[in-house]
Amino acid sequence: MLDATRAPKYQLITYGCQMNKNDSERIGGLLSALGFVETASEREADLIILNTCSVRQSAEERIYGKMKDYIRLKKDKPELIIAVTGCMAGRDKDGELRKRLAPVDLYFPTPQMVELPKWIAGLRPDLANSADLVEDYLKIMPRRVPSAQAFVTIQIGCNKFCTYCVVPYARGLEQNRPVADILAEVRDLAAHGVVEVTLLGQTVNSFKAKDPESFSSQNPYKDAFAALLWEVNTIEGVQRIHWTAPHPISMTDEVIDALALPKQVNYLHLPVQSGSTKVLFQMNRKYTRENFLNIIKKVTAKRPGIALGTDIIVGFSGETEAQFEETVSLYRTCDFDISYTAQYSPRSGTLGVKLYQDDVSREEKKRRWQVLQTLMRNMAKRKNQAYIGKTVSVLVDKVENGFAYGNSREMKLTRFSSTDVSFVGKIVDVVVEQALEWQLIGKMVL
């Protein structure tokens, strides 16, 4: 039994993307409302929750690896509750993944976190006795570590069904939050000192407004996502706005126009996945190489000098050497600042597994990945050199070992000499004196 003089403790381990991290903040908020306190020690915890990712097989293998530790831990603490949520549980429609998670007591998709008070009370009445349940998990107030930056989920799920992707199966079809709820959350964050907001969605720019009447009559945009960006731009206290990850087919002219809004960061992360139209067709991406290049042309015309990032998958089923070289040439043409490149990993239940054979060898995938990594490093260093002598605006997020660190509006890590921790959470100007592959170094403008 739990000692009545102490609060119950939970450990929350998060894998994967920013969306998962934001979901974990809501789990933390829910548990805090139940009287739990967080601990970094699994041996102190009464409840351990793993918020999982299923993008690649390696992500799931990490969860299976933890099970050996938990089997041993539960021998010493049989009353310990272990829970698994997130994309792994969300996509496990036939229970096959669950069979490999013997010590797990609770196993549920993300939206079902609202049931946690009831489930915990059923297993351990000494930990929770609340019968109050929230119907929509997105209405749970996130428990955030005090920071000048915050993520705000505006959309969950996805309707795109890319053939390599588990998201529609793990998170369901696209659902958009009400505009009023989103704006209320951003205003509350701004009131508590947040200056940079990142809007999150699986294909964030396909956002549709459930309550368009919540938009201001002065709003100039018809596209709902562009209109939402305009509204967030008007919120006092917010100084920088970022959003991820958009889909090329939803990069309308109005969304591109909104890149020029004053609080928009000078960075766009637009996943391309491949530079080959044939591979894009097999991926069910619904655009061609030419479509993507045309979007980039419009973006750079609207906002000259914008930094560009992307996602790429190498070694997708049937990808030839010539098709891979199309990706390399597209990378050069778009002049990307950064790419998050993955080697294709077949995922059970996806259309890619059903339709295509994974016929590119592991060695060849690794080689292609290395080609793009080398290209990216070389281009990143060249592009960063152009910042030498220029002033960049930096949101400081830490001060340690004699340096202050933060991202510029181009999402480039920047550092300058300082031991003053009061700079954390502040936006300062920095003159760049040196440029490395992944870091700008300079001095603060006094």
For the chain, the average pLDDT equals 95
Kindly state the DSSP code that residue 432 receives in the 8-state scheme: E
Please list the residues that pair with 413 across neighbouring strands.
Answer: 407
Q: How confident is the model at residue 59 (pLDDT cuts 50, 70, 90)?
A: confident
Parts of the chain belonging to CATH 3.80.30.20? 141-385
What is the predicted pLDDT for the residue at 135? 84
Q: How confident is the model at residue 133 (pLDDT cuts 50, 70, 90)?
A: confident
Q: CB of 118 within 8 A of CB of 60?
A: no
334, containing H or E segment = helix 321-334
Show the 3-state SS of 198-242.
Answer: EEECCCHHHCCCCCHHHCCCCCCCCCHHHHHHHHHHCCCCCCEEE
Parts of the chain belonging to CATH 3.40.50.12160? 9-138
Q: Find the DSSP H helices in 350-421.
A: 351-355, 362-385
State pLDDT tens for residues 315-350. Answer: 999 999 999 999 999 999 999 999 999 999 999 889
C-beta neighbour count of 364 within 10 angstroms: 16
Distance of alpha carbon 373 from alpha carbon 427, whole angstroms: 31
Parts of the chain belonging to CATH 2.40.50.140? 391-444
What is the pLDDT averaged over residues 249-261? Answer: 98
What is the predicted pLDDT for the residue at 49? 98
Confidence check: pLDDT of 4 > 70: no
Kindly state the DSSP code that residue 264 receives in the 8-state scheme: B
What is the predicted pLDDT for the residue at 6? 80
If one looks up domain 391-444 in CATH, what number appears?
2.40.50.140
Which pTM does this prediction carry?
0.92
Q: CB of 279 within 8 A of CB of 316?
A: yes
Q: How confident is the model at residue 408 (pLDDT cuts 50, 70, 90)?
A: very high
Q: CB of 391 within 8 A of CB of 433?
A: no
Residue 255, helix vs strand vs coil: helix
Q: What topology does CATH give the domain 9-138?
A: Rossmann fold (3.40.50)
Distance of alpha carbon 129 from alpha carbon 117, whole angstroms: 7
Q: How confident is the model at residue 5 (pLDDT cuts 50, 70, 90)?
A: low
What tokens were used for 95? 């229970």
Q: Does domain 141-385 have CATH number 2.60.40.790?
A: no
Q: How confident is the model at residue 134 (pLDDT cuts 50, 70, 90)?
A: confident
20, containing H or E segment = helix 18-33
What is the predicted pLDDT for the residue at 181? 97
